[in-house]
A and B are shown apart, each in its own frame.
Chain A
Amino acid sequence: MSRSPDLAGTEWTILFLCWLLASISTLGSLFFSETMQFAPCVLCWYQRIFLFPLVLVFGTGLLFHDPKVVRYGVPITMAGWLIALYHNLLYTGIIPENIQPCTQGVSCTEEYIELLGFLSIPMLSFLSFTMILILLSILKRRLSR
């Protein structure tokens, strides 16, 4: 394997879009919880665990024009994507939520917002992780050419 080229031109822009998506999602998520005071449920927290560091991982990659960023970005994004997928299946009722006793926390199927009739918070998360994954795979393909 030859010395990997520095990120430039279109590749840098693709990674920049990934970073932008991750940043907007992070701030949006913080807006829901801190400003609008929606308490995040457990699954939301797990998605946040994988979403928040993406901002720094992608940001560092952009700063140093480092194409290896894909290697580190993909596993984190994948983990977040899987949890988001599970959350949406639970939320839409495709997987039944186990019958649980009343707890202090927030139910993961609690409905907060429904933008345009279908954009729930778990759906926003899923879309965001999906788009980042697609962009990363495009980036990977271009870099290995």
Chain B
Amino acid sequence: MKKTYILFLAAALLIFLFALGNYIYKNQQSEKMGFLAQEEAELFVRKHSATLGSDEAKVYLVEFMDPACETCRAFSPLVKQLMAQNPGKIKLVLRYAPFHQGADYFVRLLEAAKKQGKYWETLAIMYQYQPQWASHHNPQPHLIWRFLEGSGLDLEKIREDMQDPAIDQIIEQDLSDAKRLNVSKTPGFFVNGRPLVNFGYRQLQQLIEEEIRANYPE
């Protein structure tokens, strides 16, 4: 009889320890992420990062992207749509994670275009013609130029600015931040520091809507 007690007591104790461990672990995890978002906000938004949207926006959508990544291209219209639906509430921050071989060439091009104030226009052209210059995940630098001709960019200047070593530092910084934030695939999204855990359009929309609700109480 006494032994039966020992068995049940041990079982109850183990289950209790399991539940306690579960509780402690989950608490720790959420604290860790909250801490990251506040204390180390610059991991997500660097001074050099290209941003779109109002400075007053309270919801920061940080996207680690690769100009040659097809999924980043596919997400671009959705991100625009979400920003249009919530005017002034979302700020888009682009970070680079040029994981495709040769994709850093296009990051350079974007950064050079930024100096001429045509960053987002150039990105739009890149995405639009991505199937032609990066078919089968194989970015080919020479193919992009003819698509840029009608864009009003000073292409001569672009070729020159692309050599700027400051761009190397930007890429390096972004890649190291991507690594610290565990971004191993593109696009990698964070909404106010919260990672998009389950990947998908609807999930991103939900995460953004949650943050909008939290930051803009009605």
Contacts and interface: CB of A to CB of B under 8 A. Distances in A.
A126 to B, nearest CB: 21
Interface stretch (A27-35, A77-85, A134-142): A27-35
Contact of A35 (B7, B14, B22): B22
Contacts of B6: 16
Given A35-B25, A35-B26, A36-B25, A30 B7 contact: no
A20 B17 CA distance: 13
A12 interface: yes
B21 interface: yes
Given A20-B10, A23-B14, A24-B14, A35 B4 contact: no
Contacts of A27: 14-15, 17-18
A99 interface: no
A34 B22 CA distance: 9
A62 B26 contact: no
B3 A12 contact: yes
Contacts of A36: 25
Interface residues of B, number: 14
A31 B3 contact: no
Contacts of B25: 31, 35-36
Interface string A4-37: 0000000010001001100110010011001110
A30 B14 CA distance: 13
Nearest to B15: A27
Nearest to A9: B3
Nearest to A55: B11
A63 B4 CA distance: 6
Contacts of A20: 10
A73 interface: no
A122 interface: no
Interface in B26-75: 26
A59 interface: yes
The 8 A-B pairs with the shortest beta carbon distances in the complex, nearest first, are A27-B18, A35-B22, A62-B7, A35-B25, A23-B14, A27-B14, A12-B3, A31-B21
26 contacts: A12-B3, A16-B6, A16-B10, A19-B7, A19-B10, A20-B10, A23-B10, A23-B14, A24-B14, A27-B14, A27-B15, A27-B18, A30-B18, A31-B18, A31-B22, A31-B25, A35-B22, A35-B25, A35-B26, A36-B25, A59-B7, A59-B11, A62-B3, A62-B7, A63-B4, A63-B7
Interface of B: 3-4, 6-7, 10-11, 14-15, 17-18, 21-22, 25-26
